[in-house]
Structure 1
Amino acid sequence: MKASLQAKMGQQMALTPQLLQSIRLLQVTSLQLEQELQQLLERNPLLEQEPEDEPLPASAEAERAGLEAAAWDELPEPMFLSGGGYAGDPDDDPTARIAAGQSSDPRQRLLDQMALRSTPRELALAAYWLDCCDDRGYLEGPPDALAAQGASQLREELAGVSADELLAARQRLLDGEWPGMAAADPRECLLAQLRALPPGPARTLAMQIVSGHLDLLARHDQAGLAAALGATSEEIAAAVSLVLSLQPHPVEQPPEPEPAYIVPDVIAWRANGGWQVRLNTRSQPRLRLCAYAEQAASGHEGMRGLLEEARWMLRSLGIRNETLLKTARVLVARQQAFLEHGEESIAPLTLKDVAEEIGMHESTVSRITTGKYIQTPRGTLELKQLFAVRLEGADVSGAAIKAMVRRLIESEPAHAPLADDAIAALLARQGIRVARRTVAKYREQLAIAPARERKRAAGGGTRMARAG
């Protein structure tokens, strides 16, 4: 083999702390930002807070944000964030590598984790099985029947898909990031969790208990377990303790957020026959350079560093505010019907739709809507609530259909509650075709009991029963 040297040119720029700061500021909440700005004011004497009795006119605010955004646009994009040579797809934004906030949808959280090691086809197969699961992570039907149904349903989307391939994908879910996901029953879920543990005598015994002696475990009959498995009471106690340490269902819940006051970042209202949107200037202190900043920094190395820090922070704040305002205006414009008429009118809208309209990457839209709230006549809403996924085969969003399901159940006759298939038929008359299992899933998400339980509750004097 002949060795050779080749010269190759490419653009690159390091991911500096300042750039990381600008990206991170897109995602922080208003309360977090206020705390950071107060700390910055304390350590940087070249920054000062604008007096609250000097309101900034709307035109001046927009002009300043526009100038700051223009300054940002002078930087190379998106290659400057790659931290090295860039030779990939120019639409592939490296900022996507910086973690965004976790989705409240467990299905999306799991798919995000799987995306690191799975192909698009494997993700599509996993998404099918997750759609077949209830909110706890258990399948809503027999695996073989669901696999046959999926092979027919996904034939156009995934060429050559078979029931066997779908069953293999379910097995990967069972033994994947969330052990037990897509299990057919608690026994299968517990066994998957045990397989994920390090091998040892206690695990082996625990798997035998779960496989064939759950009835004895449920009765707390450790003596019966010891006799059935030929083990000592100490060994049985260790195995039982291991089983009891497992999760009863596979869905992992995100950590509970710390309670905090909600401060709207954006305000939207109807005026002059349309919708107006502006930033809530009271959600964060307005900063500016001190009048003596340039003079103080001249000839002093340390002060020049503080001046650069102050300028970059002001620029980053301008980018954050401009991005937030543009995103909020698009969301309000696309969801006018929802703001005026309610949940049944919410339109399908994705991060990609908004990103294309404002000319930014989806990851930027995801960050700027994380933990941000908008004050509307319908109440204070999280910006994420204005996104809605289009239900396959329908022209409306899943959130709108969920609201329709709730309305139909709330208006049903007390003596004759609507079954899930009856609700699906009523929706079909309105041109919205959904499967019975989809109606059942939405009903469970609304914490509404099945028809037979609602009928019993109505007979006992209670109009609607809530699912346990």
Structure 2
Amino acid sequence: MALAASLHLRQSQSLVMTPQLMQSIQLLQMTHLELNRFIEQEVEKNPLLEIVSGEESGRDGERTDDDYLLPSEERAQAADAAGDGENQRDLYDSAVSGNAAAAGDTLDGGLDNMFPDDAGPRAADAPELIGQWKSMPGGSEDGAAYDLDDFVASRKTLKDAVEEQIPFLLSGEIERLIARHLADQLDEAGYLTGSTAETALRFGKPVAEVERVLSRLQELDPPGVFARTLGECLAIQLRARDRFDPAMAALVDNLELLARRDFATLRKLCGVNEEDLVDMLAEIRALDPKPGLRFETAASEAVVPDIVVRAAPDGSWQVELNADALPRVLVNRDYHTAVSRRTGRDSAEQAFLNECLQTANWLTRSLDQRARTILKVAAEIVRQQDAFLVHGVDHLRPLNLKTVAEAIGMHESTVSRVTSNKYMLTPRGLFELKYFFTVSIGSAEGGDAHSAESVRHRIRALISQESAEAVLSDDDIVDILRKGGVELARRTVAKYREAMNIPSSVQRRREKRALARAAAAS
């Protein structure tokens, strides 16, 4: 068969991820802060986009939240029905020019008030204090205005707090250099991560001299700083409280026995009775194992709920989008109309303007679709977890992404993006949407399955109600859960208990009996 070149015409379909589609998917999984940051960047690049605050959106004669969610075609019709923007600007200009004289009589139209940067040097409010307060208006020698950022308070770090105390503690220059070097090796918890031998080698000094400087640094505030181990940190704090006696020293040296709740061995090592040991344990619990964290500089971000669930008068649930979490973005079509009517516009300007309008319309439609999708997924979660909202975590049903996706006619990946880093405010508290999706655990009688979160809650409740004489083992918890209709293996109970940082039954029995004997003796 001879080879020959030929031309064929075929028709096919394929799914193409356009850049705008990919950006819409990213918008869906953005948090409230990430979305606001993205919109601010778009507003900087696009002159047709505007961010409207909540106060401005509710005023008379201005657009409200409902206007932001209209499709682009409806917004265009609304803009045409509003009237000719050019005529409105002419009326506005004439009104301003006609009332300029009257406004000057009633308002402060001085040069220093309207254009403070061009008003010239301002006289000092108190000339006699200029030498003491250089930041006063008119107090600068060169006449330059002061920067307000110079007066903004900054949070003190652990290193700053330590370096402020070093000059009052050490007098020698070499000692201060060693102390500052050791301060540079502190971690965020206040522990010394470096080695005194390496520090001594660096400065050419004996290790004993570095150890002496370190012992002095351990006297600084906060108590416990510059410790190398947890036991040393606790010992420093106990010395500051004058409670580091031989019995307490023995307890600090055997923290592994304390973790195992081996109180019988601890009583022998410390040479104390049951009541004194309980008091010593209470003092240990009152100490701070990470004293440096109080200087943590990371800013805490408040969680803004995306969905608000309220009880309706008819007994159902009212699911609403949180107005504070909704970005208010609109397209400035008046500006677009004014620029489009200009004469002498070249093709590059027209292309840029059309691209800005297309991008602005896409962004408003994407934000509208994002809000509708979040609301649809949240409404289905509320419908599935109605028993949880009424009765509590014991009635939390097992739920997966596939169930919600099939109910609302969306893909599982879409539901997964919607529920990531989104929060719902309910009468039961504030929960992440992922909280309502839990693993299913089979029922002992073959009835409805139970969620893993509700089972963990039951285990926690059973352990909190046990007494010193009847401490439940993992097998006992399995039997109680089976009687309650939950089929669970013993190793699963142990896994849930360890995940909740609950000690074993042997350790709990030792602790509860020690507390009971101490309470009876007192």
Using structure 1 for the length normalisation, give the TM-score: 0.54
- Give a deviation string over 1:433-456, Cα, whole Å, max 9, x none: 111111111111111111111100
Q: Aligned residue for 2:28?
A: 26
- Residue equivalent to 1:428: 482
* Aligned-pair CA distance for 1:413: 2.3
Corresponding residue number in structure 2 for 1:269: 310
Aligned-residue Cα RMSD (Å) equals 3.0
* CA displacement, residues 65-107 of structure 1 (integer Å, 9 cap, x when unaligned): 5858x9xxxxxxxxxxxxxxxxxxxxxxxxxxxxxxxxxxxxx
Shift of 1:259: 5.2
Q: CA, structure 1 residues 2+386, in 2 after alignment: closer, same or farther (shift >3 Å)?
A: farther
State yes or no: 1:315 paired with 2:365: yes
Q: Which residue of 1 aligns with 2:471?
A: 417
Q: Does the 8 Å contact 2:68/2:330 carry over to 1?
A: no
SS of structure 2 residue aligned to 1:460: helix
Partners of 1:34 and 1:284 within 8 A in 2: no
SS at structure 2 position matched to 1:15: coil
Q: Is the 8 A contact 2:467 2:512 kept in 1?
A: no
Residue 9 of structure 1: CA displacement? 2.9
Matched, 1:40 2:42: yes
Structure 2 equivalent of residue 189 of structure 1: none
Note if contact 1:47-1:310 (Cα within 8 Å) is conserved in structure 2: yes
The alignment status of 1:447 with 2:501, answered yes or no, reads: yes
Residue identity opposite 1:311 in structure 2: N
Match of 1:372 among 422, 434, 450: 422
Q: Secondary structure at the match of 1:423?
A: helix
2:453 to 381, 395, 399: 399
- Amino acid in structure 1 at the alignment position of 2:332: C
Matches within 5 A, 1:35-434: 35-53=37-55, 54-55=57-58, 260-272=301-313, 273-296=315-338, 298=340, 300-392=350-442, 395-434=449-488
Mark the structure with the bigger radius of gyration.
2
Cα offset, 1:307, TM superposition: 0.5
**Percent identity between the two aligned chains:** 40
**What amino acid does structure 1 have at the position aligned with 2:19?**
P
1:3 Cα deviation from its structure 2 partner: 7.2
User: What per-residue deviation string (whole Å, max 9, x for no partner) do you get for residues 215-274 of structure 1?
Assistant: xxxxxxxxxxxxxxxxxxxxxxxxxxxxxxxxxxxxxxxxxx995321111111112122
Kept in 1: contact 2:442–2:486 (CA 8 A): no
Amino acid at match of 1:447: N
Contact 1:66 1:322 in 2 (8 A): no
Matches of 2:399 and 2:493, distance apart in 1: 21
Q: Structure 2 unaligned segments of length 5 or more: list them.
A: 75-297, 518-522
SS of alignment partner, residue 9 of structure 1: coil
Partner AA of 1:264 in structure 2? P
Q: Give the superposition deviation at 1:391.
A: 1.6
Q: Cα deviation per residue 1:18-58 (whole Å; 9 max; x = unaligned)?
A: 111100000010011011112222221111223423349xx
Asked if 2 retains the 8 angstrom alpha-carbon contact of 1:268 and 1:375, the reply is yes
Cα distance change, pair 371–462 in 1 and its aligned pair in 2 (3 A)? farther
C-alpha contact (below 8 Å) 2:425/2:431 kept by paired residues: yes
Structure 2 distance, partners of 1:345, 1:258, is 36
Contact 1:339 1:377 in 2 (8 A): yes
**How many residues are paired up?**
274
